[in-house]
Amino acid sequence: MKFDIIIIGAGPGGIFAAYELMQRKPELKVAVFEAGHALAKRNCPIDGDKVKSCIGCKSCSIMSGFGGAGAFSDGKYNITNEFGGTLHEYIGKKKALELMRYVDEINLRFGGEGTKLYSTAGTRFKTLCIQNNLHLLDASVRHLGTDINYVVLNNLYAYLQDKVRFFFDTPVLSVAAADGGYQVICADASYSCSDCVISVGRSGSKWMENVCRELQIPTNSNRVDLGVRVELPATVFAHLTDELYESKIVYRTEKYEDKVRTFCMNPKGAVVHENTNGIITVNGHSYEDPAKQTENTNFALLVAKHFSEPFKDSNGYGESIAKLSNMLGGGVIVQRFGDLIRGRRSTPGRIEESFVTPTLSATPGDLSLVLPKRILDGIIEMIYALDNVAPGTANDDTLLYGVEVKFYNMEVEVNERLESRYPGLYIIGDGSGITHSLSHASASGIHVARCICE
Ligand SMILES: Cc1cc2nc3c(=O)[nH]c(=O)nc-3n(C[C@H](O)[C@H](O)[C@H](O)COP(=O)(O)OP(=O)(O)OC[C@H]3O[C@@H](n4cnc5c(N)ncnc54)[C@H](O)[C@@H]3O)c2cc1C
């Protein structure tokens, strides 16, 4: 079967590429291949009752399917060049911001109207942070919430389904250059196209590595972020989250001068499992609907680890540490901050007696047996620093879940059109290593669609 354009992966990158192609050239024959299920069929079996932890489904509904890893996410679209990816290094800061705002407009049109856009501009917290050796990064953030994010995706699918051919539960096995275009090979058939857009996200990272190896596309991998997810009573951060929703705060440790940062803040949210290539790590989200909100706020504290020559497998390093927590805890480990400081493990009894009720069922244990000392020292230092701007953060009952790992896909060599060394073969979104967020991944999809249409 022949198409003009084949998109591999129906995450935000792939969806927004398909959307923009249909806006600009509706006559194009476009197909989207997705390893996971259609949105309506995505369902994680963890119900907190019968199924308490990850059972390793063949296709993880949290990470795969229409909507990609973003489908059940918090739907926080950060409009900024300060974090979330380095798209601006390829297309320029002004254009990157324009595209992120354009994505925001589409989200509003497709069901996100009425959601709030928060901004750090002119906030008094910037000063408060600097006074305490913390740095608040500039950003605007649209919080759709897990519920509205789903509505937007559903509406986008309704809009696209008659215009674009979707192949769900159809992982692409390989891509080959053929006859001036590309051959996309699946288990039962192969399909050809003139242009191919690869947008396979984090769950497709291993597959992407293979494709790059086979096609000899140069890559570079040297970073992984490691840390914990912090959960505490929502009231502790309420003064920040009510005004900013999400605050990205960076701290440079006194001991090692490492940078520790807050990441993915979820006011009144829930901590969740994340399954990346069979390794269970932790993440978080929250709902816009007050009825679904919890009494806790969660956020990640991450330390960026950059490796230098000769070591190249930064993701392998992160995986090994996550595997250690999976080995000791059978999945994610939870520990009270007070227990960590006293050098003892948390037990079910100590968690039970804690004044903070965990929103995720995890195994009480000892994170100091999992995380490298340098990383743990940095996290502890930052918790004390945060306690100065949000008193109560360093409380004994503050819960730490581990490990949280931000795997960075190896960065694929592409030009300013996000086109690989093969003309017409584009690599976008988190799978390219260039983006690490909903807004950047979506913007990269729009950018590539426009480049193709030009
Ligand atoms: C629980 C959770 C919460 C998050 N919260 C936020 C948030 O609030 N804000 C934010 O900015 N980011 C958040 N993120 C990150 C965000 O979801 C990603 O940055 C974003 O989804 C990346 O988009 P993408 O299109 O590049 O890749 P993905 O969304 O990962 O989509 C890639 C798709 O490709 C498919 N695929 C992979 N390999 C193949 C193959 N071989 N053949 C066919 N299909 C394939 C996958 O099944 C997947 O559906 C969160 C992530 C998680 C897991």
Write out pLDDT tens, residues 331-346: 999 999 999 999 999 9
Query: Residue 409 pLDDT > 90, yes or no?
Result: no
Q: How far does the centroid of ligand 1 lie from the alpha carbon of residue 436, in Å?
A: 9
Q: Cis omega before residue 250 (within 30°)?
A: no
Q: How far does the centroid of ligand 1 lie from the alpha carbon of residue 14, in Å?
A: 10
Amino acid 344: pLDDT: 98
Residue 314's pLDDT band, with cuts at 50, 70 and 90, is: confident
Residue nearest to atom 1 of ligand 1 (CA): 73
Residue 44's pLDDT band, with cuts at 50, 70 and 90, is: confident
Residue 408's pLDDT band, with cuts at 50, 70 and 90, is: confident
Amino acid 100: pLDDT: 98
Q: Identify whether the C-beta of residue 15 lies closer than 8 Å to the C-beta of residue 445.
A: yes
**What are the pLDDT digits (tens) for 142-176?**
999 989 999 999 999 999 999 999 999 999 999 99
**Dist CA 433 CA 86 (whole Å):** 9
Task: Supply the DSSP string of 415-454, one letter for each residue.
Answer: -TTSB-SSTTEEE-SGGGTSB-SHHHHHHHHHHHHHHHH-
Mutation pick for ligand 1 pocket among 82, 100, 206, 430 (CB with most ligand atoms within 8 Å): 430
| C-alpha closest to that of 382 among 228, 234, 239, 235 | 228
Query: Residue 49 pLDDT > 80, yes or no?
Result: no
Beta-sheet pairing, 2-8 with 30-33: parallel
Q: How far does the centroid of ligand 1 lie from the alpha carbon of residue 63, in Å?
A: 6
Residues in contact with ligand 1 by the CB-under-6-Å rule are 8-14, 33-36, 62-65, 68-70, 73-76, 78, 84, 171-172, 199-204, 207, 264, 272, 274, 283, 285, 429-431, 436-439, 441
Amino acid 53: pLDDT: 72
Structural Rg of the chain based on CA atoms: 21
Amino acid 222: pLDDT: 74
Amino acid 275: pLDDT: 82
Tokens, residue 102: 């354009």
Q: How far does the centroid of ligand 1 lie from the alpha carbon of residue 328, in Å?
A: 28
**Dist CA 435 CA 91 (whole Å):** 12
Amino acid 42: pLDDT: 94
Chain-wide mean pLDDT for the chain?
Answer: 94
Query: Residue 411 pLDDT > 80, yes or no?
Result: yes
**Dist CA 217 CA 421 (whole Å):** 7
Residues contacting 262, CB < 8 A, separation 6+: 247, 248, 249, 299, 300, 301, 386
Amino acid 191: pLDDT: 98
Residue nearest to atom 33 of ligand 1 (CA): 9
* Stretch 9-35: mean pLDDT: 98
Mutation pick for ligand 1 pocket among 437, 439, 442, 444 (CB with most ligand atoms within 8 Å): 437
Tokens, residue 332: 């994610």
Q: How far does the centroid of ligand 1 lie from the alpha carbon of residue 70, in Å?
A: 5
| C-alpha closest to that of 428 among 117, 414, 439, 271 | 414
Q: How far does the centroid of ligand 1 lie from the alpha carbon of residue 350, in Å?
A: 35
In this structure, is the dihedral angle defined by the CA atoms of residues 68, 70, 71 and 77, taken in order, positive or negative? Answer: negative
Tokens, residue 308: 């230098």
**What are the pLDDT digits (tens) for 421-454?**
999 999 999 999 999 999 999 999 999 999 999 9
| C-alpha closest to that of 434 among 9, 85, 200, 91 | 85
Query: Residue 182 pLDDT > 90, yes or no?
Result: yes
Amino acid 288: pLDDT: 81
Q: What percent of the chain has pLDDT over 90?
A: 82
Amino acid 308: pLDDT: 83
Q: Cis omega before residue 233 (within 30°)?
A: no
Amino acid 410: pLDDT: 87
Task: Supply the DSSP string of 341-383, one letter for each residue.
Answer: HTT----HHHHHHSSS--SS--EE--GGGTS-HHHHHHHHHHH
| C-alpha closest to that of 141 among 301, 291, 302, 286 | 286
Mutation pick for ligand 1 pocket among 54, 64, 241 (CB with most ligand atoms within 8 Å): 64
| Partner residues linked to 116 by β-bridges | 143
Residues contacting 31, CB < 8 A, separation 6+: 1, 3, 5, 6, 7, 164, 165, 166, 167, 191, 193
Q: Which atom of ligand 1 is nearest to the CA of 283?
A: 1
Residue nearest to atom 4 of ligand 1 (CA): 73
Q: How far does the centroid of ligand 1 lie from the alpha carbon of residue 417, in Å?
A: 21
Tokens, residue 394: 């360093």
Query: Residue 201 pLDDT > 80, yes or no?
Result: yes
Other Cβ atoms less than 10 A from the Cβ of 73: the count is 25
**Dist CA 300 CA 297 (whole Å):** 11
Residue nearest to atom 35 of ligand 1 (CA): 9
Amino acid 296: pLDDT: 98
Amino acid 10: pLDDT: 98
Residue 327's pLDDT band, with cuts at 50, 70 and 90, is: very high
Amino acid 300: pLDDT: 98
Between these two residues, 315 and 324, which has the higher pLDDT value? 324
Amino acid 313: pLDDT: 83
Q: What is the H or E stretch that residue 223 is in?
A: strand 223-233
**What are the pLDDT digits (tens) for 124-140?**
999 999 999 999 999 99
Residue 297's pLDDT band, with cuts at 50, 70 and 90, is: very high
Q: Which atom of ligand 1 is nearest to the CA of 438?
A: 11
Query: Residue 379 pLDDT > 80, yes or no?
Result: yes
Amino acid 238: pLDDT: 97
| C-alpha closest to that of 221 among 40, 412, 353, 30 | 412
